Structure 1
Amino acid sequence: MDNRTNLDDYLAELGISEADESVTPPPAPDASGSAAPPEAAATDPRAVLDRFLRGLVARIDPELNVTVRETEDAIEAEISGENAARLAGRDGRTLGAIEVLAYTVLSKLEGRGDTRVRVDIGGFRKRQADTLTKLAERLAIGVAKSGEAHELQPMPAAERRVIHIALKEHPDVMSESVGEGASRRLVIKPRHS
C-alpha cells in the first residue's frame, strides 16, 4: 500500500492542483441567460454546484455536459453526454459519491446545509426509479394475494422513498420503513390486516 498521506500529492498526480485554472469553467448563466457576477456566483448555490460539477467532469471527460436547475425542494443537476452512463459507476456508486461531494460543496456556503442536492448521470436515477416502481407493483400484487408482509433488503432513503410513493395510493397494500441507519429497510404489508 502507498504510504503517501498528502492529498496535494494525489491531486498533483491526477493533474489537479489548487492553482489549476486551465479547466475552470466560466460563471454559470443566471435565469436571464447572462453570466452571474463573480460575487453572486460565489454565493448562489446553483452557480456553485454548476461550477463544481463542470470542473469535475472537465477533468474526467470534457465531452460531458452539465445542466443545473433549482426546484422547489432541491437543486438538481444532470450530467449528460455520450459516455455519461459509464460515469454513474457500478450500481450508481460513483454517482452517489459525486452527489455526496456536491452536497458537501454546497453545505460550505453559510446557511446552506439544509439544501437538498440531486444529481443524475445519463438518466441513471430515472431508470432506477422506474425499476423500483415496477418492483413495488410486483411485490404489491404478491402481498395482496398472499396476505403476508414482504420485507425488502436494506436500501438507501432515496430508493425507499420511490417505493413509498409508488404504493402510497395502492388500495390493498401499504409500506413502512423499519430498522436503523444502514440496515433500514421497507416492509410491504396488506393495508387491511
Structure 2
Amino acid sequence: MKILTVEGKTREEALRKALDELGASEHEVRVKVVEEGEDKVVLEVGIKAEEVKLIKEVIEGFIKSMGTTGGVEVIEREGVYYANIVTGEMDSILIGKSGKNLEAVQHLLARMIHKRNPKIDVVIDIAGYREKRERFLRAKARAFAEEVKRTGIEYIFEPLPPSFRRVIHLELAGKEGVRTYTIGDGDLKKVVIAPRRRR
C-alpha cells in the first residue's frame, strides 16, 4: 500500500505531484494536509480503495471473531475514514451504556488498523449510534448553553466517555457567556456548562 508525502508551493501543485506518481485521479485518493504555510504545503496522499480494503478486512475479521455476522460501510471525509459497523444482534452490546463499549471498540480497531498502516485515521461507529449521539449532544449543548446564559445556573450532563465529552467542549468552545469543564473520575465523566463570569 503506497502512501506519499509530497510538498509543493500550493495544495494544487503538491496534489498534482502525488497524482502523477500514483497514476491516480483526484477522486481515487485520500488527501490529508500535514503542513500548510505561506510558501509551502505538505500533503499525505493514499489510494482510497486500498485503504478502505484494509479497514474492511480488519473490521470484518473482528466481527467474525465474535461469532456473528454483519457488514461495514466506510466513507472518507477530509482525510479521515468513518466506518459504520452493523451486526444487528450485537449492536447494543458493542455500543454499551452511554457508548462506553463503542469507545473500547474504537480503541481496539484503530490500533489494529494502525499496526498495518499507521497513516490511516479511522472513526468507528456502530449502527450510526456515534453520529446520532454526537448530533444530539451538539444540539443539547447549544440549548443548555443558552439556558445557562439566561439563568446563571450550571447544567451538568450525564456521565459520558471521552469522545462524546470532546463533542460538547468543541461545540461550546469560544461561545460567549459560557465555559465548560469536566468533573468526576474514571472513563465516564460529566461535562458542566457554567456561566462565564465577567472580569
TM range, smaller chain: 0.5 to 0.7
- Helix, strand or coil at the partner of 1:61: coil
User: Cα gap change, 1:179/1:90 in structure 2, threshold over 3 Å: closer, same or farther?
Assistant: closer
Task: Show structure 1 runs of 4+ deviating over 6 A.
Answer: 178-181
The whole-number CA distance in structure 2 between the counterparts of 1:180 and 1:97 is 17
1:52 corresponds to which letter in structure 2?
V
The whole-number CA distance in structure 1 between the counterparts of 2:176 and 2:195 is 9
TM-score by length of 1: 0.59
The whole-number CA distance in structure 2 between the counterparts of 1:119 and 1:73 is 15
**2:84 is aligned with 1:78:** yes
User: Cα gap change, 1:84/1:124 in structure 2, threshold over 3 Å: closer, same or farther?
Assistant: farther
1:119 corresponds to which letter in structure 2?
I
2:129 corresponds to which letter in structure 1?
F
Structure 2 counterpart of 1:52, from 49, 58, 69: 58
Structure number with the higher strand fraction is 2
Structure 2 counterpart of 1:93, from 100, 106, 110: 100
The whole-number CA distance in structure 1 between the counterparts of 2:109 and 2:194 is 36
Q: Which runs of 5+ in 1 are unaligned?
A: 1-30, 33-39
- Aligned Cα RMSD in Å? 3.5
- Helix, strand or coil at the partner of 2:164: helix
CA deviations over 1:141-180 (Å, ceiling 9, x no partner): 3311232444546533311221123324644323345788
The whole-number CA distance in structure 2 between the counterparts of 1:79 and 1:151 is 31
Identity of aligned residues (%): 25
Residue-pair matches, total? 151
Alignment of 1:55-134 (within 5 A): 55-59=61-65, 60-62=67-69, 64-80=70-86, 82-83=88-89, 85-91=91-97, 92-109=99-116, 112=118, 115-134=120-139
CA shift at 1:73, angstroms? 4.7
User: Cα gap change, 1:87/1:52 in structure 2, threshold over 3 Å: closer, same or farther?
Assistant: farther
Residue in 2 aligned with 1:36? none
CA shift at 1:189, angstroms? 2.4
CA shift at 1:53, angstroms? 0.8
CA shift at 1:74, angstroms? 2.7
User: Cα gap change, 1:129/1:183 in structure 2, threshold over 3 Å: closer, same or farther?
Assistant: closer
TM-score by length of 2: 0.57
User: Cα gap change, 1:153/1:78 in structure 2, threshold over 3 Å: closer, same or farther?
Assistant: closer
The whole-number CA distance in structure 2 between the counterparts of 1:85 and 1:185 is 25
